[in-house]
Structure 1
Amino acid sequence: MSQLLLPGDLIKGNETSDEEISAGPGVYCDPVTQELVATHAGIEVVTETKKGHAVYVNYNSRRYIPAVGDLVVGVITGSFGDSYRVSLSNFSNPVSLSFMAFPNASKKNRPTLKVGDLCYARVCSAYKELEAEIECMDSTKGQDAGFGLLDGGMIVETTLAYARELLFNESYPLLNILGKLVEFEVAIGVNGIVWIKTDEVKTTLACYRAILACQDIPPNQFDKTIKQIFNDTLKSSD
């Protein structure tokens, strides 16, 4: 049953199960007590993962505000000193990506990213008074975890709530339906940017159109809509 949460409300899901529960957007995990606390007003959503459960707050917001642990898709806009400047959303402050925030990076072995390149990263530092920082690895586990340069493909700009559904709700049918039609790579950022890539431009375009269209329709219409989009796109490109 869905539960309405207000900022400061305790999320009791972590008290009823011994399974690992990971905190998503809108949820803060107290480092001392390990209690989960809502940071935004919205609907509590708990989804099953391979390791346990994930919980996040589904709230309506048009502006993305970085939070530690967020997975994001960013655009390189320049470099300054020993870090890249990265844009996570339009009309917002850029964030910093250190040259050392990559797997196996060193002073002699630095990544080479250009202005306009896309990267998949994790927010590792976010304070109101300071510039947020991201990393192309999971420093908490010492793994690359699929982060880094996103080469080719297309990006879809979505609402923040839709991006959270795609990333955290494993029962959300969109990606499963796409997977039955074409093999693809995907990177989903909670900043409302989805990167998608297939072996061919026309199927990548079909995936782009499908993701965009399904944002405004209920899940029970996904299958019919996606198949129609693929048929129309592939026919028009022949």
Structure 2
Amino acid sequence: MTYIALDTTDLAIAAILLIANGLVSVWFRLGLERTLAIAALRMVVQLAIVALALRFIFSLDSALWTALFALFMAAAAGYEVVSRQERRVTGVAATALGAGAPFFAGLVATLFATTLVIGPDPWYAPRYVLPIFGMMLGNALQGTSLVLDFITSAAVRERAAIEARLALGAGRYEAVDTILRRALTTGLMPIVTAMATTGIVALPGMMTGQILAGVDPVEAAKYQVMILFLVAGSTGMAVVAAGLGAVLLITDDRHRLRLDRLTRK
């Protein structure tokens, strides 16, 4: 298995296309050039730090360091989920939900993969656990963000209808049933679209990376199929947990709608 190593010059050449985006922003007065530059710089710094950290953790092959890094990833995911909400629920419960839903879903899918599907020795080998967990966490984070944002925004928009149902004796989940179902559909749509278009419209990043590293395309495709199945499962668990939890956060035990708990971004 061989691959072509990249140096700093190669990365600089690839960045020309990003600079072209900045020029488009300037030409059309979009005001995105600063945002693009910051995002690109942040990406490079974050990947460099993560790459060095993974190299260190891989060399240790320690379950403790693997777990600590996974917890750090989950904490960062929780921050991202909360920061993306247009209307967010105040208090630590919202942050716990934003971090807990993708973490739990990603953990279950990762353990399922390493213990029952791939079976590395040891099962907690960071070279397998952390990349898989990162993919599960990233997709579950996206689904969680979409669900929470949809439910909070829809609750404000459809307040009168929800309160009317509650006044007629409906429980909290019954009153927001339509909103919850639409939110879950929204949260699952990215992975459904990804599975439907993979292989025809686009080659996913993992499969492309393996092929570039010299892996046989058929073997790379097998791994990609496995990952998409796992991503679908973890995303489903995350969006359901986030949706049910969000309903609890915007209502109380007396089945009242509590929009006073929301704060605008």
**Fold shared by both chains (TM-score > 0.5):** no
TM-score (norm 1): 0.25
TM-score (norm 2): 0.23
Structure with higher RCO (Cα < 8 A, 6+ apart): 2
| Structure that is richer in helix per residue | 2
